[in-house]
Amino acid sequence: MFSRENLPHEPLALPDRMDLKDVESLTRARDWFDFMSRRHSVRDFSDQPVPRAVIETAVATAGRAPSGANHQPWFFAAVADPALKARIRSEAEAEEEKFYAGGGGDEWLKALEPIGTDASKPHLTTCPWLIVIFAQRWGTFDDGTRFKNYYVPESVGIATGFLIAALHTAGLSCLTHTPNPMKFLNEALGRPESEKPVMILAVGHPAPDATVPAVAKIKKPLDEILKVY
């Protein structure tokens, strides 16, 4: 962790080593692919409660992600309070109404048509949890002096991937939501100017009648996303 003190480099023996045979590695990789292939973004959530401990453990997993200079420039605000979720929904929908009224531009709106979204976001209040992800653009010491964080978008993106995978492993569904602008989240959640809201994750169990857009099942084949040199 970053410190104002002069911390010398101290190499430690790798504490957690896995020595797998090639066939074991391939089996695990394929099993993980099959498992993650069953992850789906949903917009229809059940109000079934999710224990706080599950959310805390998933966020703890996100906190194990690699980051620039190990500064860990992220903050996760987990919201279960109904009144606060209602406020976030109201302010998010106000921004979404501007977007769908033309603020997003014709090309972007056209791209969203197969997804079937609009300005109404009932999932923000139906789901038991919202996790708001913030990127910490800089940090501060106890005396208020700033220090710089490095590779912030990349680090927060990796941590978010860890979080989504952890939630899926726990049997939960989630939906990424990025109203623009999102500055209202700083005020609603009392977060400092140094933190930039990146997205809202709606988290919970899918409703019994949950659906996914057919287009969401269309994934690029491997030869379109990979070239081996």
Amino acid identity of residue 167, one-letter, is L
What are the phi and psi torsion angles at 113 (to 5°)? -55, -45
Predicted local distance difference test score (pLDDT) of residue 3: 64
Instruction: Give tens-digit pLDDT for 141-198.
Output: 888 889 999 999 999 999 999 999 999 999 999 999 999 899 999 999 999 999 999 9
d(CA 22, CA 42): 36
Structural domain range at position 154: 42-208
Nearest CA-CA partner of 62 in 136, 157, 148, 141:
157
Q: What is the reported pLDDT for 2? A: 59
Note whether residue 22 is domain-resident: no
Task: Please state the domain count of the chain.
Answer: 1
67 in any annotated domain: yes
Looking only at the bridges linking them, the beta strands covering 129-136 and 74-79 are antiparallel
Q: What is the pTM of this model?
A: 0.94
Domain assignment of residue 158, yes or no: yes
| Within a domain: 146 | yes
The verdict on residue 30 lying in a domain is no
Instruction: Flag whether 25 is in a domain.
Output: no
Question: What is the predicted pLDDT for the residue at 136?
Answer: 97
**Cα distance between residue 197 and residue 200, in whole Å:** 8
pLDDT tens per residue, range 189-206: 999 999 999 999 999 999
**Is residue 195 in a domain?**
yes
**Residue 74 forms part of a structural domain:** yes
CATH of the domain at 185: 3.40.109.10
Q: Which two tokens stand for residue 79?
A: 């919201």
Strand 146-148 and strand 173-177: the pairing is: unpaired
Report the C-alpha gap between 193 and 132 in whole angstroms: 15
Q: From CA 178, how far away is CA 159, in angstroms rounded? A: 17
